[in-house]
Structure 1
Amino acid sequence: MSSVVRYRTRVDAAGELVRRLQPFLARRPEITVERLAIIASGFFTVFCNVAFFRAVAATGTLSGWSGAMTGVALAVMIAALNVVLLCLLLNRWSAKPVLTVLLLVTAVATHFMGQYTVYLDPDMLRNILHTDGKESGELISFGVLPPLLWLGVVPSLMVWRVKLRARPPMRAVAVRIAWVAVASVVAVGAALSSFQNISALMRNHHEVRHLITPGNYLVSLGRVVLDDQADRNRPRMPVGTNAHVVGRAPGTKPRLLVLVVGETVRAQNWGLNGYARQTTPQLHDIDPVNFPHVTSCGSATEVSVPCMFSPYGRAHYDEERIKHSESLLHVLEHAGIRTLWRDNQTGCKGVCEGLAYQSFEHAQDPQSCDAEGCLDEVMLDGLAEEVAQRPGDMVVVLHQLGNHGPSYYKRYPARLRRFVPACGTAELGRCSREEIVNAYDNAVMYTDEFLARTIRSLAARTDRDTALIYVSDHGESLGENGLYLHGVPYAIAPDTQTRVPMVMWLSSGFAADRGVDLDCMKRESSAPASHDNLFHSVLGLMQVSTPEYDPTLDLFGRCVPHA
């Protein structure tokens, strides 16, 4: 048979197949909105809640016959609650576009929950919404395409093929109310059928509810939107309005304190803490005061940064109070100490509201920046000139991009690619744990270089007494127990996300003028510390008197005479 004949035969066969499929392709099944909601609920429950059931299984709740029945009850309860949710969201005109959005977003959420064990609680949603385009772009990689296609695009196309049956308005309302009632009864019945196990699960592991999709991100998004609306016109409560500097002898040099807020550096990989690798060689040579046992206030920037700059801290944590109160920087300003926030991140999270602020997110420095962002050293450019414009005591905050993941390989220059092979992609699942740690440690070494460079520039100044305090905002999971990145609810966050490095350096002039015994500081530094100490330690170091100052939380207090 010639090739032409074979080709024509295949074309004819393909044409015949298309003709036979035409009736099927042309057929558009007609269903009610309620039935569509049931089908979509079943789809979400079975295909998009794998992370939830995996987390529940890890607690031991699903072990044995009783556990199997609990698993069935949970599946029925989640499906029924999804029916209630969708029946409230969908009508004949909104069903297709709304379901399409839900399917696409849920597909992406399912990918990230499975890939990184992300809990979509309000704090995580707030982090996502406040992340800039460059950072979020790093998370969108080819790895998200398969789940987006099979869990989002294909089901959406099927949704658009069906015809939705119309009902008279009053009958439609009555039927919808009936379905919501029935689904609610089913959800309650499923919960009661295994009440002891389910109640124990939600009591002891309540964070798993943030893995139930799509309810997790919808409820969290609603809370974030409502909170933001309430916060929009709410003034900040003043803090330390009567603050003033005390105990300074006339004629002493003005002071310059640089406070470096790190990003995503964990204590376990900090060379000065005894890590197997020397990831802080330059700081090792400088020999600052190192605090090896420091706990963060949160496991994400949105929580930790406002908390560490507040007088309340983790010990008296109150999110609303912290968000709506002035910060350490405002107290310093009240005392006559000028402040400046320089940012290579996504903002100061309200800490510097109304104060001097400079963003380097879109800086154009060819030495430090490219199209994807800037290395942290860009914040040192022009800093001396900014300080010169502000006579008197001054506190400068440098907010790093640091080790922000998952693109650790972008957080350091090529010259610091010491640990190899290093993961060179944001899709951490494509790299071995060794490669991930190598890239992460290279980025830690860049923070070491950045801090050492800053300290050297401060030490060279003769016009001011200088000091530097560095502390990271939170840590990072690098694959331990299947966890990656950060942002796990604080109650269950591992030490890798809540233990952070902290170092302090004082010039000899600053230490002498303030009376700080650095040898004493090094002896005392092995004691546990936390973000709660920052507010009071800075006030103590800068000799600011205010009722909010707590000397028991001042890390310099034990090593300053008559503190």
Structure 2
Amino acid sequence: MNALAREVGAGAWARSLAHRPEISVEALALVVSGFFTLSFHHAFWRAVIATGALHGAGGWLTGVSLAVSITALNMILLCVLLNRWTAKPVLTVLLLATALAAHFMDQYTVYFDDDMIRNILHTDRKESAELVSLGLIPALFLRGVLPVALLWRLRLKPTPMGRALLVRSVCLGAAIAVAAGGILLSFQNLSALMRNHTEVRHLITPGNYLVSLGRVLLDDGSARKPRTPIGTDARVVARAPASRPRLLVLVVGETLRAQNWGLNGYARQTTPQLAQIDLVNFSDVTACGSSTEVSLPCMFSPYGRGHYDKGRIKHSQSLLHVLEHAGIPTLWRDNQTGCKGVCDGLAFESFEHARDRRLCDREGCLDEVMLRGLADEVGKRPGDMVVVLHQLGSHGPRYYKRYPERLRRYRPACERSELGQCRPSEIVNAYDNAVLYTDEFLARTIHFLAGQTSRDTALIYLSDHGESLGEHGLFLHGVPYAIAPDTQLKVPMIMWMSSGFAAARGIDMQCMKKSANRPSSHDNLFHSVLGLMQVDTREYDPDLDLFQHCSAVPGSTRS
């Protein structure tokens, strides 16, 4: 009898495993739409609650309205994308991609706007690998792999073509009506929310990354046309016959925020070597964007944030091209993922995959690698020259990989990619150690320049954007500019000149130090460099030249 019972049980179990439920494409679309709303919008609801939109007597109605509208909008999307043949492949991609997107939105409050999608598309394998952690595995399995496995167990109900078109039309119309009804249910509150907090729409998934991806692909398709020339009239202002050639090094920092910069009065002295050097520290500097993809092209353009036009900046030549038009050769040395178009067609060296046992491992190189062979490169060009050193800097989330062991001063330091799993003090410790290394790198670069006997030399350091270290639940960077906190927008900037450079340019360094607390921004870089190198062009604006009011020698004949 027991054997018979076991045999019957085994047969029932086998039949249950073999059973594949049947479902229509429309019903599947509705189930998945509800799953998207329930499982992938934790970051969205956190952001909405933080706005206060769900508070008060009508808050519950606004919440219901949002949930209904989001589900209906997802239903509209799936009704357009799915049919009997495309349903499983399309939903497989959407479920896995949305599970990944939701993980990063939940962990780091990532907003999937156009700039973030562009950052993702231009991120290399090493940067992507830093974001892959053990915490990603259960999130991807529970919200992606498992639903996909269940999806492929289903059988899609066959429907004659005529009836399928009728049913799909009815479902699409019903979804549109429900979406409209959901919006009207709390229209006043929803319109105020979307008008005053437009950024929350970038947390509604999968629409956020799909819409942004479409816009980026369209924009990048038009980006292949030649860049519009600027500063073709540029020329170097005549100097005294005995003047020495000038060498300017621009160090573009990565992810270093002003709040942790020792020279700005931070509680920790994270810039001990720079503090021993006679230089100018600009203490109130605002970045053009909260990501490299935005800030780097912007800071090298004449338009900046003051006249910000992403398309115009993207399709125009940069400061480096203007210098080349004036006959000043440039060299971009890169320990990052490229110059984002700033140095297109110009001299470029990448150290991202350099081989140096002392400074590099399989995951990348310390920034010192860019100083290797720099003297030889500079020696090849005897006249004026501008060199850009693009740092890896304090790039997260693996801050602990951005400095050598000798600078592991602040302990314990967070040594994992999942920043939310570390104590706040550990994250700050790792980040501050990375700042210490930037301090050392800049000091070494200045000492190199000070040793150049055949040229007048100068250095400008300016970070591309800042970083959030967990304040208000935010990590990393890339928050839309309109709502980006100061931790992501306020950046350090310093300037050093040899005595010969200052004298030749007639710059009063004491005057510069007195004015260094005035507000400045990335917008000043383009014009300040042209002024330092005395490049005359109609693109030059003396009002944005940080050195103009402290110089006895004009940076341009037009100033």
Q: Distance in 2 between matches of 1:543 and 1:556?
A: 11
Matched, 1:119 2:117: no
8 Å contact from structure 2 (residues 505, 552) kept in 1: no
> Which of residues 348, 360, 375 is equivalent to 1:384?
375
SS of residue in 2 equivalent to 1:52: helix
8 Å contact from structure 2 (residues 414, 429) kept in 1: yes
Q: Distance in 2 between matches of 1:407 and 1:12?
A: 60
Cα deviation, 1:108-157, whole Å, max 9, x if unaligned, reads 11111011110011100110110110011010010101110110011001
> Which of residues 41, 52, 69 is equivalent to 1:60?
52
Aligned counterpart, 1:43: 35
Matched, 1:532 2:523: yes
Aligned counterpart, 1:283: 274
Q: CA deviation at 1:105?
A: 1.0
SS of residue in 1 equivalent to 2:150: helix
Matched, 1:547 2:518: no
> Which of residues 64, 72, 77 is equivalent to 1:85?
77
> Which of residues 462, 466, 470 is equivalent to 1:471?
462
8 Å contact from structure 2 (residues 507, 553) kept in 1: no
- After superposition, where does 1:357-376 map in structure 2 within 5 Å? 357-376=348-367
Q: Distance in 1 between matches of 2:535 and 2:161?
A: 68
Aligned counterpart, 1:428: 419
Q: CA deviation at 1:13?
A: 9.4
> Which of residues 57, 71, 76 is equivalent to 2:68?
76
Aligned counterpart, 1:250: 241
Aligned counterpart, 2:169: 177
8 Å contact from structure 2 (residues 332, 347) kept in 1: yes
Q: Distance in 2 between matches of 1:331 and 1:459?
A: 26
Aligned identity (percent) is 70
> Which of residues 398, 414, 430 is equivalent to 1:407?
398
Q: CA deviation at 1:367?
A: 1.5
Cα deviation, 1:294-353, whole Å, max 9, x if unaligned, reads 000000000000000000000100000000000000000000000000110011000000
Q: Distance in 1 between matches of 2:161 and 2:154?
A: 21
Aligned counterpart, 1:561: 552
Aligned counterpart, 2:220: 228
Cα deviation, 1:502-553, whole Å, max 9, x if unaligned, reads 0000001111111111111000101000000000000000000001100010
Matched, 1:152 2:178: no
Q: CA deviation at 1:16?
A: 6.7
Q: CA deviation at 1:468?
A: 0.3
> Which of residues 293, 302, 311 is equivalent to 2:302?
311
8 Å contact from structure 2 (residues 291, 464) kept in 1: yes
- Letter of the structure 2 residue corresponding to residue 400 of structure 1: Q
TM-score (norm 2): 0.97
Q: CA deviation at 1:49?
A: 0.7
| Unaligned stretches of 5+ residues in structure 2 | 555-559
Q: CA deviation at 1:430?
A: 1.5
Aligned counterpart, 1:211: 203
Q: CA deviation at 1:18?
A: 4.5
Matched, 1:26 2:18: yes
Q: CA deviation at 1:37?
A: 0.6
> Which of residues 449, 460, 465 is equivalent to 1:458?
449
Aligned counterpart, 2:314: 323
TM-score (norm 1): 0.97
Compared CA separation, residues 207 and 13, structure 1 to 2 (3 A)? farther
Matched, 1:95 2:87: yes
SS of residue in 1 equivalent to 2:58: helix
Q: Distance in 2 between matches of 1:52 and 1:80?
A: 16
Q: CA deviation at 1:65?
A: 3.2
Cα deviation, 1:462-521, whole Å, max 9, x if unaligned, reads 011110000000000000000000000000000000000000000011111111111110
Aligned counterpart, 2:557: none
Cα deviation, 1:183-202, whole Å, max 9, x if unaligned, reads 11110111011000000000
Number of positions where the alignment pairs a residue of Structure 1 with one of Structure 2:
553
Compared CA separation, residues 13 and 342, structure 1 to 2 (3 A)? farther
- Stretch moving more, 415-424 or 553-562: 553-562
Q: Distance in 2 between matches of 1:50 and 1:30?
A: 31
> Which of residues 489, 514, 531 is equivalent to 2:480?
489
8 Å contact from structure 2 (residues 43, 203) kept in 1: yes
Compared CA separation, residues 419 and 177, structure 1 to 2 (3 A)? same
In angstroms, what is the RMSD of aligned CA positions? 1.4
Q: CA deviation at 1:12?
A: 11
- After superposition, where does 1:193-204 map in structure 2 within 5 Å? 193-204=185-196
8 Å contact from structure 2 (residues 505, 553) kept in 1: no
Matched, 1:135 2:139: no
Q: CA deviation at 1:24?
A: 2.0
Q: Distance in 2 between matches of 1:173 and 1:291?
A: 65
